[in-house]
Each structure stands twice: as C-alpha cells, then as structure tokens.
Structure 1
Amino acid sequence: MENPAHLTPKGPRAIARILVDSPLPQLDRLFDYRIPDELADDVRQGVRVTVPLRTAGRVLQGYVVDTDVETDEERVLADIETVVSAAPVMPPRLHRLARAVADRQAGSAIDVLRLVIPRRMVRAERTWLAADAPEQWRPDASIHAAATDMLGVFGGLVEAIREGGRVALDAPPGVDGAQPRWSALLAAAAIETVAGGASAVIAVPNHRDLALLEAAVRDAAPEAPLVRLDADQSNPARYAHYLRTLDDAPCIVIGNRSAVYAPVARLGMLAVWDDGDPLFEEPLAPYAHARDAALVRQSLHGGALVLCGHTRSSDVQRLVRIGFVAETPSARRHSPRVVLAAPQDAPRTGRIPSAAFRSAREALDVGPVLVQVARPGYAPALVCAECRSPARCVCGGPLHAPARGATPVCRWCGRSAHAWQCSSCEATHVRLASSGSERTADELGRAFPGVRIIVADGAHPVERVGAEPALVVATRGAEPVAEGGYRAVLLLDGDRMLQAPDLRIGEFCLRWWSNAAALAAPEAVVHLVGVTGPVARALATWTQSAYADRELDERAPVAMPPAVRVASIAGDEKEVTDALAQLADGVPELGTDAVLGPVPAEETDGRRRVRALVRFEYARGASVAKALRAAVVSAAVTSRSRKPRGKGASPRQRSSPPTLAVRLDVADPDL
C-alpha cells in the first residue's frame, strides 16, 4: 500500500479507512490512509477518493468507510491523493449491507457496491448538493384510509408492516380498470409505510411490472415521493434518483433487482414481487439473488419484508415451513375459473380444443381474449417430415421458417436451405415442430376472420390493450393488461413448456400460467390445454403454495435446492482441487458426499477447466462461504505470483482477476 512518493511524517495523524475499487479478491479489505491537511474538510464517510496502491502499480478509486486517528508513531502511511466528490454516496448502512451480502456469497463488498451506486454524473450531483433537503410527505386521511382498507383484506398485514414482520403474501388475481390488483396492493403497502414515517422499497423483475407499479402508485397518491431506480433510465436521471434515496425524508423506491439495496435512511418495508422470476438472479458477482439480499437487509436494517406473488417459490415456501416467514391469508379469496382442456380434438380448430375454441368465440362478443404461447416468431423449430430429427444447416445450425411458406433459414449463418436433405434418413421435406406467436396469430386470423389480432412478445412489446374485442397472442411473461380483464384466457403449448430440461420447470410453468390467468375478468374461463398432473391441478385449484410444498418434499431426499444450498466451484483443475481441500479442512463436518465432481467444464481462453458442486445445509452457510472465500483469495495470490511483473508488464497483466470462480446458491445445478 505504501508509496515512497506519498510517505508522511510520523506521529498522531487523522486517517481514513478506504475500500478500494479493485477486482482482486485479496484487496477486499479496508486500507488506512493519512488525510492530508488540505483535504481534512472534504474527507468524510461515504465520499469517493483516489488513493495510491503499490501492489496494483497505480492510483485507484475507493470509498471512505470510516475516519479515525492513528497514534502509532512508527507506522508509515500513504496519503489520500484526491477527493473525487463531496457527495457521501456510500453511507455506512450501505457498506454494512454490501459487506454482509458479500460474506454470505463468498464475494467482495466492492462488487455489491458496483451494482448499487450508479456512475457519477457531475451536473446531477451538483444539483443535489445545492438543493434543500426534501420535505417529509404524509398522505392525507382519505389516501391513507383507502390504503389501509385495501390491506385490511389480508389478516395481520397492516400490523406486520407497522411492526416489521416477515410475510409471504398471495397476491389477489384480477384487474381493476386498467390496473392489476397486485400492483394496487403493493402501492397501498408503500403508502401505509410512508404514512408511518419510513421509506418503502419494492423490487419487481422486469420493466413491464415496473411501469404497472409506477402507475398504481401515481393513481393512489399522485403527490407521493416516488423514486425509480431503473437501468433503462439515462445516466443523469438514474444517478439523481439514487442521490434522492440518500436523503432523510421517506420515499417510495421502485426498481428491478438492484433496488433491494437502495440506501434509504429508514427502511419501513422491503417488498419483492414474483421472486420466482429468473430475472431476480444476479448475473454478476457475487451473484446474490434479490430475495436473499432482501433477507440479509431485513435482518440488518429491520422493517417489514413482504414476499408477494401469484405463485409461491419453493424458496419462500421453505422459509414459511421453518417459521421464518409468516403466511398472510386473504379474507376474500377469489381465484380464476380454470378448465383443464384435452389436446386438439377437432381439425377445424387447429391447436385449440373445441371447447376452448367455442369459449374464445363467445368471449370475443364482449371483450379481448388472451392466447399464451411458448415462443415468439413464426415457426421457431423445424424437423424432418419423415423421421422427426431436428432440421440442421450444413454448418450445424438449426433451421427455422421466418414466415409462412418461406424457405427455411439457418439461425447461425443465415443461409437459406434451398436443397435441404435430412442427415439421418435423407428425406427432403421439413415440418413445423412448434408454432411461435406470429404463426399462431396467422392461424387465429384465419379461424376468426374480421377479429383484430394483437401480437405481444419480445419483438412486439405491448403493455396494455383496451376493452374492445381482440385476440391477443402473447409469449409467456409478455401478456399485456386488458382493461377490465380478459374475457377468456387460452394457455397453449403447456406440454412443450414442461419438457424444458430445468430443475424448476414445474415452478416456472405454474408461475407463467398463474400470472396469465390472473389477468382474466371475474367471470372469465381459463383453459389450460394438454396438461395434466400436479402442476395442472395446482393451477386449477389455485393452490400454488401446496405445489411448492410438494416440490420441497421431492427435492429434500436428493439434496437439491432449495432444500439445501449448492455452491459451484470452477477453474483450473489444480485450483478446484486446492479449493476443495481447503473446504474440507475448514468445514470437516460436510463429509465426502457433499462434493460432486470435479467434472470437465467449458474451456476458457483455451484453458481446460473443471467444475465441482458442493451441497450443504443452511446452518453451515457461513462456514462454507468463509472457506471458499479463503480459497479464492489463495488462488488469486498464487496466480498473481506467476504473472509478469515489473516495467514490461501491463497494469492489466498485474491486476487481472484469478480464474477460480465460486458461486453460491446455484438454482439449477444442471446448468
């Protein structure tokens, strides 16, 4: 850490403890630096600074975590070079949270802070520093009473919010006007929280849900201090909104997965909507799921924790089963009317059973009908018409039909397959293996002439539709909200969805179907086509929590998540072997059956890699994370000693991160 050009006189000195911004795991600790006299008025907790770091061979940015006085006259310290900004963007509460999440995930605190603190925007920062502190907003009596009445349907929910409880909330299905009931419910919970003088933070998985939640808050309380943390915002807007969360005045924060870290001064409620959505899984180190980060934060900062959804993930059900989270039942239980329809039974109706076809035709007399399909596009997959082998291009890529009657095209190289021949049986004809949203719309357009067809998928995003008759063909998760709700809902391709090779595919399908069914009008019929078994029964009886219970029971004997936690260790063979040895020494009670592998993994930069899985109980999580973190640091130090050093080595060569990668809480060990 010391640099001769920055050495200071001995004696008592004011110092700052700095968390440096570096990818090297061995630097994930606090460093002491002397505060120069000329910077004494600017250095305070949470500000950005630059400091010299000899081991990195350059000047790094960092955050001031704390200040103190060094009385050891023999200790030689380097000076802080500059104060980047006077804005305290990392308050102590945020550092404690980042440290706790990183320790749980065997990661670095600075990696968590990178997910939370946006890039600095000078103009937005100057405006915030010069502005007066915002005034505290309180909802008027009518707004507060309406929110309390809505929450009162759920027994004990108001008390849980006021007393800082942890609840699993089954959201009511249905649409009121143009607003789904779940968004109005969470908006009411946020208003109730702010009325008590605290801030509310709500995380949702995607931008469609974020828009719905924002509209619900604006409808319920137009003057509420609403802060949106969203990656789609411009950099100045996102930074300005983040700075607002640092003020003492309570606010309502809404956003995607990183919103759970919003550093509000007093946290009154932290809510996560639809935690089973894979978008809540953080793809960047330290890979903490938003639900897990919310649990850590609630334990540190208090406030209520609300885990809400139309379905209940097996992870939340485990928390309910052990009594860590309480169930909050609704006094006015309402569920959609779900019919399990047999596969296609009339040639004239195509993929839709005759009963569902008649239901859709009748519903179109009064309003819109939703048709959910598995995939976007026209025909996502082609197979040989004779042997049903996947149709492949000469390059090996899959063929697809971009439009009706079009020549098949390769998804990889884009080449048209004019003279295609099956490599298995030498047949020359292909057939459609499945239908995408556009082909389904084409088929329905012929079956329902004169009816307006709306396609809603990733390429054609639609957030809302009106109450007039229309056929809305949507991929899973892209269903728009219909004013007053859909008059009928048809869930197609369910059998294909369930065939996906994923440990949680049953949970995913139940969530996709439940979220679509929840958009139906009160008297509408929901048709689930071609699916039977536990998932279909859970949807038909609207008992999603019972299905989550069943999933837990099935996974416990085979030690699969979330019955246990699973860690993945990947890297060079020696690194993984050494890491497993350190884990065995650090946590000897794990036993040999806890480790699966190592097995070959995908090569990276031409280097052969292996991967191992470690299964362990939740009670041993802290010990396992500590041992694996020590292994990562050890591998980094060893790797650094082998890297080029001196004048001939670039800073990137000297400070590149190690190849050993550790990830805790792997949701699906097969991936």
Structure 2
Amino acid sequence: MTPAPAFARVVVDSRLPQLDRLFEYRVPPGLEGVAPGVRVRVPLRNEREASGYVVEVADARDWEGEVADVAHVVSTVPVLQPEVWALARAVADRAAGGAADVLRVAIPGRQARVEKAWLARDAADRAALPALPAVADASAPVLPGLVEARRRIALECAGGVAEVADGDDGTAWIGRWAIALAALARQALERGEQAILVVPDHREQRQLRLALDAAVGEERVVELDARQKNPERYRAFLRCLDDEPVAIIGPRSAVYAPAKRLGLLAVWEDGDPLLAEPLAPGVHARDAALVRQAQSGCALVLAGHARSTDAERLVEVGFLEHERVGEHRVRVLPAALADDGRRVPAAAFAAAREGLQHGPVLVQVARPGHAPGLACGDCGARARCRACGGPLGVRSRGSAPACRLCGRLAAAWSCPSCSGTRMREVGRGSSRIAEELGRAMPGIPVAIADGEHERLEVDARPRIVVATRGAEPIAEGGYRAVLLLDGDSLLAREGLRVAEEAVRQWATARALAADGASVVLAGVMGPAAAAITGATTVPFAKAELAERRALRFPPAVRTASVVGHPDAVAEALEALSGIEHLDVLGPVPAADARPGEERERAIARFAYADGPRVASVVRARVLAAARRPARPGAPARLRIRLDDHEPFDGL
C-alpha cells in the first residue's frame, strides 16, 4: 500500500521580505529525516535551491497550487525548536522584520563533525548530570521562591566583590551581583528547569560563569558566545537541545537559546547598549526576553547596578516588581574640577593617596589614548581627517596624529579654515592621565586598562589602575578608592540617554569598590551626581522617565524611523496616518544622504498598544517597496525600523 504523502512547511533562509512566510513542500517518497526543526534544501521558482528549516509536517496540504518537493535533508538534528520558532516569529512581527533574520542570530552555523559526534553518543555519554553542589550559604538565600512563583522583577543589585573558587584549586574575585544571579539560576535547576542568563559582554560572562560553577557545578553550565570557535559554539548549542536542567549564559544572542522547560530568564544591565542587536530587525535583548517570558511563563529578572528607564517603565505599569538585594557601603564624594584645568581635583588626589595605603585605586576616564582630540593651534577648529572627516587624535605620546575612525595618518595636515599647520591636543586620554598620575605619585605602579590594554583582574598590591568605561578590571578585595573623572565631558555629549548611560557606567565602577572605600565623582553636579551619591538610582530613573513621557520620547513611547525617497516616505506616513495616537517628527533630510541624493527621514511616535497595528502597516509598506520594479527615476526602496535609537543619539 502506498503511504499517504506528507507535506513540510518550511521557513526559507532569505532576507527578502516577500519570502518571509512558510512555504509548503511535498516530502517525496523515500526521503527520510524530514521532521520539525531539521535543516533542508528546497527549490524556489527561479529553479535555484535555498536553505531552510522545517517548521511543521502535516498529512494534508494547505496550498492549492503546485507543490514542489523537498530537495534533500541537510541534517536530521532538530536545531529549530518549537519555542525558538515561536519566539523568532513573534519578535520579527513586533519589529516588522523577517523571522529568518532572527534565526540567523539564534542558530549558529552547522559543524558537520560536531553534529555527527553528537548524534553518535551512546548511553554513557548521555549519563545523568551530577547532583547540585551543597549551598555555600543557606542562611542568606536570594529572593527564595522567585522561580516557583514565576515572578517578574526589576532587580537593583548592590555593589561589592566576593571571592569564589575558580575551578583550578584557586580563587577569583567577582561581583556580588553574579553570585545573586547564580543563586536565582539554582532555583530553576532545582526544579529540573533551565535558566538563561544574558550579559552584555565577556567580562560579565566570565564573572557569571565562576559564580555558576560554584552554585550549580561546572557540568551544568553552558556558554553560548560568538567569541567561541565555531565548533565549540555549535557543540554548546547542541547541548542545549538535550533538555537537561542547565544554566545557559552568553551575550544578547543567548536570549534565543533553545530551552524546552525554561524556568528563569535574566538580563544583566538591560540598559547597556551592547544588548541592542545591530543587525536587522534590530531587536534589543530585553524586548526579546519580554516576548519569551510571555510565551513561556518563566520567571523574569531585569537586573543591574542602576535602574534603566525601560525597566522603570515596566515597574510603573505594573509588569515588573521592584526588588533590591545586597548591601554595599561606600563614601561618595562630589568634587569640583580645579581652576587650573587639571582633570584630577585635590579631593581625588587625597582619596587616592589614602586608598593606596591599603590596596589598588581605580581611575575611570572617558577615552583611551593620549590625546583623544586635536584642534588647529591657530584658530581652534577641530582637526579632522581629509579622507573621511573623522576626528584626529594621538594614540600615545610621540605618535603621529591619526584618524580615530579610518586610522589614516594625518601627514602634511593643514586647517581648512585658516590654513594653519600647527595642532594642539584637546582632552586627556587614559595614557596621558596615567602619565600625569605617575609623575604626581612617584614610586606607585600605574596600569592602563582600555580597548588596547585588556585586564580582567588585578591583585591587592597598591597601584593605580586607569581604565576607560567598561574596561575596569576586578581588584582582589575591591578597590580602596575609585576616582570617576571626566564626568563633565561625559555629560556634555549629545544623546537622549547620555545622563542615563553615565549613571550606569559610574554605578558599575562604584560597585568595584571595597566596603568602606571612597568614591570621588569629579566635575558633576545635579541629578546625575545625586543618583550616584545616594543609596539607589531608582529616583533618577523615575525622573528621567517622567521627563521623556512629557516630551513623548522613548521609552515612554515606541518609534519608527522612516528613511527613503521623499515620495516613498510620504506614502508610508500616509499609510500610518489612520492610527489615532501616532504623531510624526519631520520629514527632514537624511543625515547619511549623499550629495545630490533625495533621501528624507521621518520619525513616527506611537503608543505601545498600537505596536501590532503599526508593525502590520510598516511590514506592508516595506513589502510593497520591495516588489516595486527598479526603473530609472523610481523612488528608492524604503527603510523602516521600529525602536531605532540612532535618531535620538543627537538630541
């Protein structure tokens, strides 16, 4: 008897918006391995084959037209799990993007050798995981019952560092926040569920890995990171398919990790720009986490040393509860800059000298290099690269001026305003401040930690550590003093989130101080300074959110940036005009338009409740623009991006 035909519904791996749907293919007789989640090759109308994933297999067909056959099965491993497909589809729909773009972030490239080894495992390789290690401090559990109650919280973590085992019969120092999140992850694993913990970069990932090794055992920790070699990353991804109670950690893409029984989803420092996905459709890890929590019903934690305005909005609307864990007592001392132009005020020098009697001292600066900027020595105009227009700077003392964007040397430079050839240094970078501190405190070792000089930790010996924001190493026992310099220049930048980002970075540095240490904030007054000198940053986040709500700026509202030919922009805005609570800023000439190019940009602002309707209209306009035949004089294709932060960086 001939078996009944089967039909596979496939999502094609393509960036074309017109292919962002499920296509139906017949499973030909004799083709084995076609099952939900597997990779396949399928034909398109142009007789070319494309890669894709089987989403579902059915006995009956939905499409009444001609149905082609699945060409062949690439792999029988179900890499696209149902929960990941549901998340990718929902996230793409929310951002008016394509699901295939999300799946490229979620599923790493195939490694055939690793895959074969995973499929060939025997019973011994699939042995049960060892029991969870004993709780190190049962007298002080962190938010007990959070996972069982499926709570959703905005967690403010106090600073401070602690010592944990590093797995090599030694110890390492990490932030107390990592220990708190590891304790929450243990709650999920004790229930036989998985935990996903998302961090901004490898520094936080290293700390969290050490904390998890101590809390749940290294056998139960899986790292998913683009920094891993391709085979190592794919091996870790396949392990997530085993449905074991493990803790999965990694950067923003880890939010899409397969986890059938997800008990906890935590995002550390959700206000960090590194958690914003730069690739289309540009979904922030926090937003993906919110969608996944709604689908899975797991416990959700948005944690940080400083409260983001996005998390505060969720608290104020009642979606998240506020919680705070830990105690960290430091002395925060505001200090005015000296009148002679020195970047290190007297109060900071005094705190540094006192701290150096007991251990290392951290100096946080704004920029790396020797002189971050150069200006004309005659007229004072900013010195810029002739090739790309980027700012010129000096990387180290004695080095030639070079562009900070393209790296070209500024040979035979002359000022376009006055034709002068002399340049003067503007600002002080990490290496220049390190030199000045070395001269002011002879005999004290000075170390630099920035993008070119990576340091993850320092010992407890007295030394000065000059670090750029985000590159601060962990000090054994904590820093005995923390000097936050360049606060005035940091707040002088343009951007909607400048003050919020400054508070987050200062709070991160303050958290590295030892209990009882002094923290000096130089050259900053007002609400941002009060947020650091106080015990909590929540009032600052509330005030920032209230101001943006009055101005209708994110995150009080959602936005859609519309960029393209003036006619195409006008058509898109006309399609959106029927939405009641939507208003438009612009159009204005696009900032990145080439000379003579007609390109405009407009920003549509709308309420969160109108998001699905806006996304539907936007998707229809993008699809119509993609189908429009390219002909001379035709309007350029449209680019529309929801929740685009770039237009607000210059506010």
Once the two structures are superposed, residues 526-577 of structure 1 have per-residue CA deviations (whole angstroms, 9 ceiling, x without a partner) of 0000110100011001321111100011111211000100111222333322
Shift of 1:638: 1.5
Alignment of 1:577-592 (within 5 A): 577-584=570-577, 587-590=578-581
- Amino acid in structure 2 at the alignment position of 1:375: R
Q: List alignment gaps of at least 5 residues for structure 1.
A: 1-9, 644-657
Once the two structures are superposed, residues 334-358 of structure 1 have per-residue CA deviations (whole angstroms, 9 ceiling, x without a partner) of 34321001112678xx421112202
Aligned to 2:114: 124
User: Is this contact kept in 1: 2:132–2:217, CA < 8 A?
Assistant: no
Name the SS for the 1:179 alignment partner. strand
User: Is this contact kept in 1: 2:132–2:216, CA < 8 A?
Assistant: no
User: Is this contact kept in 2: 1:538–1:547, CA < 8 A?
Assistant: yes
C-alpha distance in 2, partners of 1:135/1:582? 58
Deviates more, 1:119-128 or 1:567-576: 567-576
- Amino acid in structure 2 at the alignment position of 1:616: F
Aligned to 2:170: none
Q: Is it true that 1:173 corresponds to 2:163 in the alignment? A: no
Identity, in percent, stands at: 49
Q: Is it true that 1:34 corresponds to 2:34 in the alignment? A: no
C-alpha distance in 2, partners of 1:421/1:23? 45
Aligned to 2:627: 637
User: Is this contact kept in 2: 1:136–1:250, CA < 8 A?
Assistant: no
**CA distance 1:52–1:89, shift in 2 (3 Å):** same
Q: Is it true that 1:98 corresponds to 2:84 in the alignment? A: no
Alignment of 1:74-113 (within 5 A): 75-113=65-103
C-alpha distance in 2, partners of 1:185/1:318? 23
- Amino acid in structure 1 at the alignment position of 2:351: S
C-alpha distance in 2, partners of 1:635/1:408? 45
Aligned to 1:299: 294
Aligned to 1:247: 242
Work out which of the residue numbers 425, 442, 448 in structure 2 matches 1:449: 442
Aligned to 2:355: 363
User: Is this contact kept in 2: 1:163–1:303, CA < 8 A?
Assistant: no
Q: Is it true that 1:25 corresponds to 2:17 in the alignment? A: yes
Shift of 1:32: 1.0
Report the TM-score, using the length of structure 2 for normalisation: 0.92
C-alpha distance in 2, partners of 1:601/1:316? 30
C-alpha distance in 1, partners of 2:312/2:297? 21
Q: Is it true that 1:232 corresponds to 2:218 in the alignment? A: no
Q: Is it true that 1:259 corresponds to 2:237 in the alignment? A: no
Alignment of 1:157-236 (within 5 A): 157-177=143-163, 178-236=173-231
Q: List alignment gaps of at least 5 residues for structure 2.
A: 164-172
User: Is this contact kept in 2: 1:150–1:185, CA < 8 A?
Assistant: no
Shift of 1:432: 2.5
Q: Is it true that 1:372 corresponds to 2:364 in the alignment? A: yes
User: Is this contact kept in 2: 1:94–1:263, CA < 8 A?
Assistant: yes
C-alpha distance in 1, partners of 2:477/2:215? 18
- Amino acid in structure 2 at the alignment position of 1:376: P
User: Is this contact kept in 2: 1:250–1:264, CA < 8 A?
Assistant: no
Alignment of 1:643-658 (within 5 A): none
Name the SS for the 1:285 alignment partner. coil
C-alpha distance in 1, partners of 2:545/2:588? 27
Name the SS for the 2:30 alignment partner. helix
C-alpha distance in 2, partners of 1:486/1:243? 40
- Amino acid in structure 1 at the alignment position of 2:567: K
User: Is this contact kept in 1: 2:189–2:247, CA < 8 A?
Assistant: yes
Name the SS for the 1:378 alignment partner. coil
**CA distance 1:45–1:440, shift in 2 (3 Å):** same
Q: Is it true that 1:43 corresponds to 2:21 in the alignment? A: no
**CA distance 1:66–1:393, shift in 2 (3 Å):** closer
C-alpha distance in 1, partners of 2:26/2:596? 44
Name the SS for the 2:648 alignment partner. coil
- Amino acid in structure 2 at the alignment position of 1:446: R
Aligned to 2:605: 615
C-alpha distance in 1, partners of 2:203/2:526? 31
- Amino acid in structure 1 at the alignment position of 2:259: V
Alignment of 1:540-619 (within 5 A): 540-584=533-577, 587-590=578-581, 593-597=583-587, 599-603=589-593, 608-619=598-609
Aligned to 1:460: 453
- Amino acid in structure 2 at the alignment position of 1:213: L
User: Is this contact kept in 2: 1:410–1:417, CA < 8 A?
Assistant: no
Name the SS for the 1:546 alignment partner. helix
C-alpha distance in 2, partners of 1:229/1:297? 18
Shift of 1:604: 6.9
Work out which of the residue numbers 324, 330, 347 in structure 2 matches 1:329: 324
Aligned to 1:670: 648
C-alpha distance in 1, partners of 2:63/2:77? 32
C-alpha distance in 1, partners of 2:579/2:205? 45
Name the SS for the 2:306 alignment partner. coil
**CA distance 1:400–1:85, shift in 2 (3 Å):** same
Q: Is it true that 1:61 corresponds to 2:51 in the alignment? A: yes
C-alpha distance in 1, partners of 2:640/2:271? 23
Name the SS for the 1:444 alignment partner. helix
- Amino acid in structure 2 at the alignment position of 1:87: V
**CA distance 1:136–1:295, shift in 2 (3 Å):** farther
**CA distance 1:51–1:356, shift in 2 (3 Å):** same
User: Is this contact kept in 2: 1:105–1:625, CA < 8 A?
Assistant: yes
C-alpha distance in 2, partners of 1:181/1:72? 54
Aligned to 1:5: none
C-alpha distance in 2, partners of 1:222/1:71? 48
Aligned to 1:652: none
C-alpha distance in 2, partners of 1:379/1:483? 31
User: Is this contact kept in 2: 1:170–1:309, CA < 8 A?
Assistant: yes
Shift of 1:69: 1.6
Once the two structures are superposed, residues 382-426 of structure 1 have per-residue CA deviations (whole angstroms, 9 ceiling, x without a partner) of 2245653323466655332343355544555744556x6655566
Name the SS for the 1:107 alignment partner. coil
**CA distance 1:362–1:352, shift in 2 (3 Å):** same
Shift of 1:37: 1.1
- Amino acid in structure 1 at the alignment position of 2:321: A
C-alpha distance in 1, partners of 2:144/2:250? 23
- Amino acid in structure 2 at the alignment position of 1:294: A
**CA distance 1:407–1:65, shift in 2 (3 Å):** closer
- Amino acid in structure 1 at the alignment position of 2:26: R
Alignment of 1:499-518 (within 5 A): 499-518=492-511
**CA distance 1:218–1:26, shift in 2 (3 Å):** same
- Amino acid in structure 1 at the alignment position of 2:68: A
**CA distance 1:269–1:72, shift in 2 (3 Å):** closer
Q: Is it true that 1:312 corresponds to 2:307 in the alignment? A: yes
C-alpha distance in 2, partners of 1:522/1:151? 21
Q: RMSD across aligned C-alpha pairs, in angstroms?
A: 2.5
User: Is this contact kept in 1: 2:194–2:261, CA < 8 A?
Assistant: yes
Work out which of the residue numbers 402, 425, 438 in structure 2 matches 1:432: 425
**CA distance 1:191–1:498, shift in 2 (3 Å):** same
Shift of 1:188: 1.3
Aligned to 1:651: none
**CA distance 1:262–1:72, shift in 2 (3 Å):** closer
Once the two structures are superposed, residues 162-221 of structure 1 have per-residue CA deviations (whole angstroms, 9 ceiling, x without a partner) of 221100111120011311101111111112210111000000001111111112212334
User: Is this contact kept in 1: 2:33–2:76, CA < 8 A?
Assistant: yes
Work out which of the residue numbers 528, 531, 535 in structure 1 matches 2:524: 531
Once the two structures are superposed, residues 500-537 of structure 1 have per-residue CA deviations (whole angstroms, 9 ceiling, x without a partner) of 11110001100111000100000100000011010001
**CA distance 1:601–1:496, shift in 2 (3 Å):** closer
User: Is this contact kept in 2: 1:227–1:253, CA < 8 A?
Assistant: yes
**CA distance 1:128–1:663, shift in 2 (3 Å):** same
